[in-house]
Amino acid sequence: MTHLLEIRNARRTFITPEGGHLAALDGINLDVGANEFVTLLGPSGCGKTTLLRAISGFETLDSGTMTLGGADLTALPPFRRPVNTVFQSYALFGHMTVARNVGYALEVAGVGKASREAQVAEALEKVGLAGMGARRPSQLSGGQRQRVALARSIIAKPRLLLLDEPLSALDRNLRQQMQLELKTLQHALGIAFIFVTHDQEEALTMSDRIVVMRSGHIEQIGTPREIYRHPKNRFVAEFIGETNLFPVTIDRVDGETALARTAEGVEMHLPSAGRKPGEQVTAILRPADFNLGPTGIPGTVTRAVYLGSDLYLFVQPQAGGPEIRVISRDGAGFDEGAAVHLAHDPARVHVLEAA
């Protein structure tokens, strides 16, 4: 992959109100490819917005380097960087029409009226707002205002587009619709996107790669499937989607499968590769990885939540220990108090090396 953006050992520290030091970025290394959709994902305070602001030039690094297309960004002010940002608030001019909002940067740059109008029309068509240039932002829905902000950002044809939680103000249905539209638009434009969110669903839906951050560090970088199915550590496993974690001890190894038990006696079957009796590891299974059947972990349903096509079950294992969360499409009739058995495919188990 050709790297468009290269970040090396980026550090940024802030002074807290109490006089302490907070490392918002603590040695960040990241590459972003041309025409790649990369999402910075993590809880509040993890450093994702600080990193985005540092790329745009609105935050100055204490140390480290950033290059875009081989050119050093470190000393460039924001207005000289070939980067545009879409903010959470959209930041549209209420007294201007949609067309003037979108073409404002071209107007300031002295681009002629005919050329400006043609570029504005093209940008509005790309975001699905053709024919709406005469409206004002107050006459648009939230999703339409978000598209105006996108059109304004892409009209200057930046090499990199930064998006700071731009969908957070939308309702759930519109947010899901815009997730798919953003990914389609990014692919059509051929522009690299860096998207900031704390919403795991957004990250999994849109990203080519996800960067999971915590406390100024990068915990893991990978495709959505890699992050979801093969989390690097407990933090990533618990932060990305629903999951069940079982601290277990390997009891025996039988061919390609190892039998393991929790401290309470719940039995799990894992892939045997590299496993030894007595070894302590953490087994990870997603709720959808369990099947309700005649065999498996015996337990009792403590809660059943109807989710439309799925049933979300909380199952208390007969042997004891934490409840197991299960998503089932064939769980009809398994109401609170029902006895169940939870079977699983050993190949679906992901193993963390530390218990």
For 1, the 3-state DSSP assignment is coil
Separation of CA 201 from chain center: 7
| pLDDT of 311 over the 80 cut | yes
Ordered alpha helix ranges (H), the chain? 48-56, 98-108, 113-126, 142-154, 172-189, 200-206, 224-229, 234-239
pTM of the shown model: 0.88
Residues 6+ apart with CB under 8 A from 226: none
Give the phi and the psi of residue 140 in degrees, each rounded to 5: -110, 155
Joined together, the tokens standing for residue 106 give: 């071209």
pLDDT value for 353: 74
For 304, the 3-state DSSP assignment is strand
pLDDT value for 224: 95
Check if the beta carbon of residue 220 is closer than 8 Å to that of residue 236.
Answer: yes
Check if the beta carbon of residue 91 is closer than 8 Å to that of residue 166.
Answer: no
Joined together, the tokens standing for residue 255 give: 């061919």
pLDDT value for 1: 59
For 91, the 3-state DSSP assignment is coil
Mean of the pLDDT values across residues 180-209? Answer: 89
Domains, the chain, in order of start with CATH, read 3-239 (3.40.50.300), 244-352 (2.40.50.140)
pLDDT band at 285 (very low <50, low <70, confident <90, very high): very high
For residues 137 and 130, give the distance between their C-alpha atoms in angstroms, rounded to a whole number. Answer: 15
Q: Which residue has the tokens 């070894």?
A: 279
Q: Which residue has the tokens 């337990």?
A: 299
Query: Concatenated DSSP letters for 248-296?
Result: EEEEEEETTEEEEE-TT--EEEEE-TT--TT-EEEEEE-GGGEEEEEEE
What are the tens digits of pLDDT across the range 19-62? 788 899 999 999 999 999 999 999 999 999 999 999 999 999 99
Positive or negative, the CA dihedral 345, 350, 352, 355 is negative
Pairing of strands 192-197, 37-41: parallel
pLDDT value for 125: 87
For 319, the 3-state DSSP assignment is coil
Q: Could you tell me the CA-to-CA distances from 298 to 261, 301, 309, 330 in Å, in that order?
A: 14, 10, 24, 17
pLDDT value for 156: 81
* Other C-beta atoms lying within 10 Å of the C-beta of residue 170: 18
Amino acid at 130: A
pLDDT band at 332 (very low <50, low <70, confident <90, very high): low
Amino acid at 259: L
pLDDT value for 201: 87
| pLDDT of 218 over the 60 cut | yes
What is the chain's mean pLDDT, rounded?
89
pLDDT band at 354 (very low <50, low <70, confident <90, very high): low
Mean of the pLDDT values across residues 187-212? Answer: 91
